[in-house]
Amino acid sequence: AGAVAGMRGQREPKYWALKQHLLDLLDVLPPGSPIPTERALAGEFTVSRTTVRQALADLTAEGRLHRVQGKGTFAAEPKLAQRLQLSSYTEDMRKQGLKPSSKLLELDELPAEGDLAKLLGIRTGAKILRLRRLRLADSQPMALETSHLPAGRFRGLRKHISSGGSLYAVLREQYGVELERAEETIETSLAGPQEAEMLGADVGMPVLMLTRHSFATDGKPVEFARSVYRGDRYKFVTTLLP
């Protein structure tokens, strides 16, 4: 039972000591600082270069390190601390001082089946609008979002959705819809090949999977959305009150 580097979950015992050391180091290093070379780390911890590379790759996928081809490995910028509130991606990124943009990947109509029909408060077979977008900030891919809306309530939505625009702004300005509340769930997952490609990341990198089920002031469901956020770029923040 030797240590097989690269096999998920299999790490040489010394790997963990090295990783902990790097995490402690990253707690004090300012973002952008270079970290010791592979050779230095391998020497100091008496581990193979393969084990060092594994630790660096894992910390990169976790968003703690940033690697620049041909330059080296640096302490990463802090993740975006995103408040959990009923705001739009566009507003969220502007608040962070970043420029939001989107790439429209898909906009189609399909008949509602089972759960989705129920979630959107429409009968089975009624039309759903499905909107798939890649969401970027300062031109960097951040999330993939798939929104489902009841097509009947939002006739003509197609022509209002511009590639980069805000869905919530369209709902407000074109349909007079104000959102009142939403149920959101957050789970972890690992990027699959398609997600990884769209997000410009490696397959298997940690992602945060969110679902949002939102309701308008009239109590009716408006959107059921699934989003996949890069785990290396995001953390979510909320205030807890007793």
Least separation in angstroms between residue 210's CB and ligand GLP is 6
The per-residue DSSP string of 98-150 comes to: --EEEEEEEEEEEE--HHHHHHHT--TTSEEEEEEEEEEETTEEEEEEEEEEE
Q: Could you count the other beta carbons within 10 Å of the beta carbon of residue 52? A: 23
Whether 47 and 11 have beta carbons less than 8 Å apart is answered as no
* 73 lies in the binding site for ligand GLP (CB under 6 A): no
* 223 lies in the binding site for ligand GLP (CB under 6 A): yes
d(CA 134, CA 143): 6
Q: Which two tokens stand for residue 195?
A: 């997600």
Binding region for ligand GLP (CB under 6 A) out of 18-26, 45-53, 162-170, 191-199: 162-170
* 225 lies in the binding site for ligand GLP (CB under 6 A): yes
Least separation in angstroms between residue 92's CB and ligand GLP is 7
Q: Could you count the other beta carbons within 10 Å of the beta carbon of residue 48? A: 15
* 230 lies in the binding site for ligand GLP (CB under 6 A): no
* 90 lies in the binding site for ligand GLP (CB under 6 A): yes
Binding region for ligand GLP (CB under 6 A) out of 50-58, 87-95, 150-158, 199-207: 87-95
Which of 53/160 has CB closer to ligand GLP?
160
Give residue 9's identity as a one-letter amino acid code.
Answer: G
Contact residues: ligand GLP, CB under 6 A: 88-90, 145, 147, 166-169, 210, 212, 223, 225, 227
